[in-house]
Amino acid sequence: MRRHPLTCLSACLAAALLASCAGVPEPAATREAPGRWTGGRVVLTRFGAVRGRPDDADTWSWKGIPFAAPPVGELRWRAPRDPAPWSGVRDASSFGSRAVQVQPLGGGITGSEDCLYLNVWRPRDGETGLPVYVWIHGGGNSLGAADMVPDYYGHWVASASRVVFVSVNYRLGPLGWFALPALREGISTEDDSGNFGTLDLVQALRWIRDNIEAFGGDPRTVMISGESAGGMNVLSLIASPLARGLFHRALVQSGVSATTSVEKAEERAAGMLASLLVRDRRARNEADAGRVAAAMSDEEVRAYLRGTSARRILSRYAKGVFGMIDNPSLIRDGTVLPADGYLAFETGAYASRVPVVIGSNADEVKLFQAFDRSLDWRSDAYQASARYASDRWKADSVDGVARRLSTHPDQPPVFAYHFRWGALRDDGSSVMPGSWGRRLGAFHSLEIPFFLGSDTVNGVMGWFLFSCRNEPGRRALSTGMMASIARFIRTGDPNGAGAPPWPAWSNEVGGPKSLVLDADLDREVVSLSTVEYTPERADAALRAAVSAAEYEAIMARPQMIRSDFEPSAGP
């Protein structure tokens, strides 16, 4: 199947805080070990002091904290380095820059290469030892940001679940994942890996390990989470030997179990270089550009690429749905990621044995189909195509991952879910207003506000999907989901008194598989499924639902997912 380019104190610091309240200038950071949580807005990190602000839901927030040096100039296409320490107290009331990317609407290029910032929320009280909830945004590894939409803000979950919530930016597109032999200078295997966006996330986890106690967090209880490409990146961190010991739980929301070979990444990078040479009139065409590039020394190639603006680089890529570009990411380099990619889950060669919650949504691809408009949302073909692709998503990247992880005796429990709020019932009805259940249903990203309590969907979609009529049921579902994850962060088990039982995934036929998360208009409706989704099951369901001609037409459409577990997936 073809891949869609799917789709953050010592006693003297306490004295500094009191002095700040009295209007006395705050002292410079000591640039020594981070301090301890004192309950106020000024926090001493390893690199300097930061001043946060009161935020919604009775929380403190610190935004735009640098966790790495700006990856610009000679640091473009290199592993992240520590940020430079600063003197004084850094204002942390505004988000840092987003990574360079194509705007979802309009196709313009926005953001900055100076993008390696994270944000922290926590309850506005004196409690310490709080578990840490790390959020990795989605966007096909080519767009998005920790502050892209209010859905990603952490004040509600920090307050309700009593956690320290950290959201992270990372390099995207060809600035984040780019493999070219000329860029391998032998400085380090990480610098030569091509997986710079993945290394940014590892760097953020190291920052959390070294600094989160200053915010009252427990570095020994860290959960990484992410949706879409964020979920795919969570899977990559489970596999990566460099992330071992940096987190202790994982929540994978609609991730994709796909990686890229070094050969494919190099081929695409060489194509971008050739396109640039033609654009700059250093070659007549792309065939001639291959000759020109071959005649350049490695030093010349590096100087040329690092001397080209990020905007010009991004302009060489075709734009897909929502502005995502099809740049290969998560490269099987053998250093940052295993050489066999997510097949490491099958062989057991993945690095982090941690409890996992993993799931997908019942109508993942309806969001993409609705914007693509090549199928009429009123048609049976629209529903059948969405059902097939969404079931394949679950089969390959949820049930396939859960089954493989669960074969290893030393793997802690894996808990699977299937999010169905908004999907059509058997009678054709939906809790969504009007025709939106048929058009969108339980679409890709809809579960985010239910897990984070943000009550917004992609910024504005909640205005027409969330109604007063469906509010009681969806709030009950969100409360239950948040409570389950709060227990999971603390104990590695989402189960608790009064909550619907959530058994761990079983590889036994007829054993527990996924917890089905749903609600009617008034209440949470949660059930347990013993059905394992497989590619064969999805194919059989599609054949039974449509004519032979419709089946062939649907199978000819570009599919939304690809998996390392699928032999025909290619590199």
pLDDT digit string, tens, across residues 295-352: 999 999 999 999 999 999 999 998 877 778 989 999 999 999 999 999 999 999 999 9
H-helix or E-strand containing 99?
none
Domain ranges of the chain: 1-354, 358-569
Mean pLDDT of 31-45: 87
> d(Cα 324, Cα 536) in Å, to the nearest integer?
30
Q: What is the pTM of this model?
A: 0.93
pLDDT at residue 371 in the model: 86
Mean pLDDT of 144-151: 95
pLDDT at residue 557 in the model: 82
pLDDT confidence band for 29 (50 / 70 / 90):
very low
> d(Cα 412, Cα 494) in Å, to the nearest integer?
13
pLDDT at residue 560 in the model: 63
pLDDT at residue 32 in the model: 54
**pLDDT single digits (tens) 430-441:** 999 999 999 999
Specify the range with the lowest mean pLDDT, choosing from 91-95, 479-483, 501-505, 557-561: 557-561
pLDDT confidence band for 25 (50 / 70 / 90):
very low
pLDDT at residue 374 in the model: 84
**pLDDT single digits (tens) 56-87:** 999 999 999 999 999 999 999 999 999 999 99
Report whether 230 contacts 136 (CB < 8 A).
yes
Mean pLDDT of 416-420: 98
Mean pLDDT of 362-389: 92
Specify the range with the lowest mean pLDDT, choosing from 162-176, 368-382, 488-502, 552-566: 552-566
**pLDDT single digits (tens) 156-184:** 999 999 999 999 999 999 999 999 999 99
Nearest to 518 by CA among 505, 510, 529: 529
pLDDT at residue 568 in the model: 52
Question: Is 90 exceeded by the pLDDT of residue 19?
Answer: no
Question: Is 80 exceeded by the pLDDT of residue 95?
Answer: yes
Architecture of domain 1-354: 3-Layer(aba) Sandwich (3.40)
Count other Cβ atoms within 10 Å, centred on residue 18: 12
Mean pLDDT of 472-499: 97
**pLDDT single digits (tens) 189-201:** 999 999 999 999 9
pLDDT at residue 567 in the model: 67
Q: Which amino acid is at 128?
A: T
pLDDT at residue 458 in the model: 84
Mean pLDDT of 272-283: 96
How far is residue 355 from each of residues 132, 251, 395, 490, 492, measured CA to CA in Å?
15, 9, 20, 11, 6
Q: How much is the mean pLDDT over the chain?
A: 92
Instruction: Provide CB contacts within 8 A for 170, sequence distance 6+.
Output: 8, 99, 115, 116, 136, 176, 197, 200, 201, 204, 233
